[in-house]
Amino acid sequence: MRPDRTRKILLVGMAAAALTAGALPVLGPVPAAADGSCQVDYDVVNGWDGGFQADISITAGNRVDGWDISWDFPADTAVTSAWNVDWNQTGTTFTGSDVGWNARIGAGETVRVFGFVGSGSTVTPEGISVNGTLCDGQTPPTPDPTPSPTPTDPPTDPPGDPVRIMPLGDSITGSPGCWRGNLWQLVTDAGYDVDFVGSQYAGCAPAGADLDHEGHGGALVTNVVASGETRTWLEQNTPDVVLLHFGTNDVWSNVPPSQILDAYSSIVADLRELNPDATVLAAQIIPLEPDASFGCTDCAQRAVNLNAQIPAWAASLSTAESPIVVVDQWTGFDASNDAYDGVHPNDSGNVKIAARWFDALDDVLS
């Protein structure tokens, strides 16, 4: 179970009327747009043996037009990958800045500005500053005596009746698609009672994760629908929710988007026949950017073309009883940093994929 390690840390800007007793002084000039108090949330959202994932949010007192953040980690703690931030670490000192599109934070607005995967201690770092202003009132993190579920409202499913979730796709879902372990931990830490289902079983950190799934390496969704295999999978383990990330091999094989979407439609029809109230979370697939030596120089654009048609397809088939929700797995996924071969996700990619699935699942399960 992950501890709730969010720490709201007050930053005192130069426009503050006065420093309270014991407050740390401002160490340097702050841009006028960043004046006023604000908060930084250092939130450890996932953890495993030797590593963790953290999200960083800023709540601005006055509008911020560009931010630079820094802190000092405990010894032997390091960032291994990060997204939505231009970052560097020297020794224990981490520095990061916005990447343009996430530079602006409105007055009173809270923005999750970036995230990272790290190794070592999950203790809140010291000396956190934004735009040269040192944080005030830092204290070591104190785990809550009992973990608090992420959603405000408890899950609606009664005890003993877990929601059956089928991860359905190709190798990005099956193996090495270990985002399933990250997702399982996010879902269970949030207090939801779920059961991952499928005919496949593949190891995936963390230990104890539910490993059932329906990810089939090398499979084309158009082929397995035509052969009737997807119908069999759905009959064997009929789910309440399907996580559909399928089509990468079809894109690689230059199958037109219309045929891929027809296969999606067949899956939806079969699922609804078996479970009329089932929900489909349909992914816009992660970027596909293999090295030119793989001989698929058009793959990146083909993935874009497929993703562009998924929202309209989903809207045309979605119903109140059986909604189809589009999950954008494309945006923010950097194939050069989040995939080890331009196709299959690495550790940071798995964290991102799981986080996107969880955001959508949280709405379904709450």
Question: Contacts by 148-153 with C-beta closer than 8 Å and gap 24+?
Answer: 148/4, 149/189, 149/190, 149/191, 150/189, 150/190, 150/191, 150/362, 151/190, 151/191, 151/362, 151/365, 151/366, 152/366, 153/366
Task: Select the more confidently predicted residue: 195 or 146.
Answer: 195
pLDDT over 60 (residue 141): no
Contact 204, 178 (CB under 8 A): yes
pLDDT digits (tens, 9 = 90+) for 60-72: 777 888 889 999 9
pLDDT over 50 (residue 143): no
Nearest to 47 by CA among 167, 175, 186: 186
Rounded Cα distance, 182 and 358, in Å: 9
pTM: 0.59
φ/ψ (deg, to 5) at 128: -65, 130
Give the pLDDT score at 24: 27
- Mean pLDDT computed over 112-119: 85
Nearest to 133 by CA among 43, 10, 41: 10
Of 21-30, 38-47, 127-136, 286-295, the range with the lowest mean pLDDT is: 21-30
